[in-house]
Amino acid sequence: MFSLKDKSILITGGAGFLGSYVVEKVSNRSPKKIFIPRSDQFDLRKQEVCKKVVENIDLVIHLAANVGGIGYNQAKPGELFYDNLVMGVHLMEEARKAGVKKFLGLGTICQYPKFTPVPFKEEDLWNGYPEETNAPYGLAKKMMLVQGQAYKQQYGMNVIHLMPVNLYGPGDNFSPESSHVIPALIKKFVDAKTRGDEFVVVWGTGKSTREFLYVEEAAGAIVMAVEKYDGIEPINLGSSFEISIEVLANLIKKIVGFKGEIVWDKTKPDGQPRRKLDTSKAKKEFGFESKIPFEEGLTKTIEWYLSQEKK
């Protein structure tokens, strides 16, 4: 058991969507200090900055990432590869040199091959190339896994690696340029309802499937893994719930109360054909199991977004 009590903890990305939930849960464990480096003051792509932020730190929870949906991945593949790769490389190296006791690196479901058998098992991670639209991001994160395993082997450094599915929930990123599918669709349907539009255009065919994890549960899983898991193998984080984009879009349409039609833009990519994780290792290794029903979490997310729109 790795106790967070009286520890000095660095949480990169701690002011972000997932990070704010992780900070709240870590705060409940009575740490000595939580340091949250903000990107406007601490550019973690620079090694000297990484050296500075890990001084006198016991635990690093590395959540910071340059990340977005399919459109963002297509527009900025070079940035996504470089930013995510160098942040992980520099931060872990400087943490090692500073004698940090434990390092949690947050990966992504995008590390998996495009045609991974469903449900995705951690053992299948190296059996092919990732889906093309998110490969630069996924491979950059995958290198953090390789680095952590190498550092554990050579230096005995306690590094763990988690691979979550797409997260959703209150506080998500609803920017049209970089949001993931759930916030993007919520914004589209709410805006269309407000304007009185007759239809909403959604990318792709609607046939691809995704798995989603409520953000508060993901934050709880991260803290559980820090406390209870020291293994060298990566661990999936998910809900074991698979839903097609078509069903998802219709569900959001229903909850929002939009009465128009959905038009599918089949010139746009679907992304990976299917995504569903085998989450048995997370349950076995540190006792995490998703409990929040998807429609309940989705309704909470939409209600939160509508409350922000009124402000």
Instruction: Supply the residues annotated as catalytic.
Output: 137
Give the CA count within 13 Å in the CB-facing half-sphere of 199: 7
Q: Which residue carries 């989705």 as its tokens? A: 298
The reply to whether 145 sits in an annotated binding site is no
Burial level of 30, CB count in 10 A (0-12/13-18/19+)? Answer: exposed
Q: Which residue carries 């090692």 as its tokens? A: 96
The reply to whether 270 sits in an annotated binding site is yes
The reply to whether 73 sits in an annotated binding site is no
The reply to whether 166 sits in an annotated binding site is yes
The reply to whether 210 sits in an annotated binding site is yes
For residues 281 and 286, give the distance between their C-alpha atoms in angstroms, rounded to a whole number. 8
For residues 255 and 291, give the distance between their C-alpha atoms in angstroms, rounded to a whole number. 21
The reply to whether 275 sits in an annotated binding site is no
The reply to whether 90 sits in an annotated binding site is no
For residues 51 and 142, give the distance between their C-alpha atoms in angstroms, rounded to a whole number. 22
Mapped onto helix, strand or coil, the DSSP state of residue 164 is: strand
Phi, psi of 109 (to 5 degrees): -65, -20
The reply to whether 19 sits in an annotated binding site is yes
The reply to whether 106 sits in an annotated binding site is no
For residues 104 and 62, give the distance between their C-alpha atoms in angstroms, rounded to a whole number. 6
133 is written with which tokens? 């639209």
The DSSP 8-state label assigned to residue 130 in this structure reads B
The reply to whether 164 sits in an annotated binding site is yes
The reply to whether 49 sits in an annotated binding site is no
Mapped onto helix, strand or coil, the DSSP state of residue 293 is: coil
The reply to whether 165 sits in an annotated binding site is yes
The reply to whether 124 sits in an annotated binding site is no
Q: Which helix (H) or strand (E) holds 59?
A: strand 59-62
For residues 86 and 78, give the distance between their C-alpha atoms in angstroms, rounded to a whole number. 12
The reply to whether 62 sits in an annotated binding site is no
Going by the annotation, the residues of the binding site for substrate are 188, 203, 210, 270
Annotated binding site for NADP(+): 13-19, 141, 164-167, 180
Residues at the binding site are 13-19, 141, 164-167, 180, 188, 203, 210, 270
